[in-house]
């Protein structure tokens, strides 16, 4: 289901995919054209690993929740700490939920 009280744009390879109350696009080019209609400060990319990897080159800011736990997984968000193009510009205090420690980080692409 689309997130309420906002415009949801879904990138899908399936040409027949439709979602009520959402805009569906089928390529990065089509998505970028659709996004021109909106204020860039109000655009947020959420997804899975594939969406993050495809869209990260078009982003200047990344809001990341870093969890202090090693999960067994086969997909990951790109490691911005090891990418020289990105720097942390804001961070929260560590938070604890049950026994999981996490922190909110804001990364920004370095200006050249």
pLDDT tens per residue, range 40-79 = 999 999 988 999 999 999 999 999 999 999 899 999 899 9
Q: Quick one: tokens of 29?
A: 């080019």
Tell me the per-residue pLDDT of 46-56, one tens digit each, with 9 for 90 and over. 988 999 999 99
3-state secondary structure of 57: helix
Give the per-residue pLDDT at 3. 87
**What CA–CA distance (Å, rounded) separates 44 from 67?**
20
3-state secondary structure of 38: coil
pTM above 0.95, yes or no: no
Torsion angle, alpha carbons of 24, 28, 30, 32, to 10: 110
Give the per-residue pLDDT at 112. 75
**What CA–CA distance (Å, rounded) separates 85 from 43?**
21
């Amino acid at each position: 289901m689309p997130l309420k009280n906002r415009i949801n744009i879904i990138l899908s390879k399936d040409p027949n995919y439709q979602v009520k109350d959402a805009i569906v696009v089928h390529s990065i080019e089509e998505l970028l054209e659709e996004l021109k209609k909106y204020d860039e400060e109000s655009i947020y990319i959420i997804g899975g690993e594939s969406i993050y990897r495809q869209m990260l080159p078009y982003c200047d800011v990344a809001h990341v929740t870093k969890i202090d736990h090693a999960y067994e997984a086969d997909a990951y968000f790109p490691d911005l700490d090891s990418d020289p193009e990105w720097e942390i510009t804001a961070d929260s205090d560590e938070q604890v939920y049950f026994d999981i420690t996490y922190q909110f980080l804001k990364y920004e692409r370095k200006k050249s």
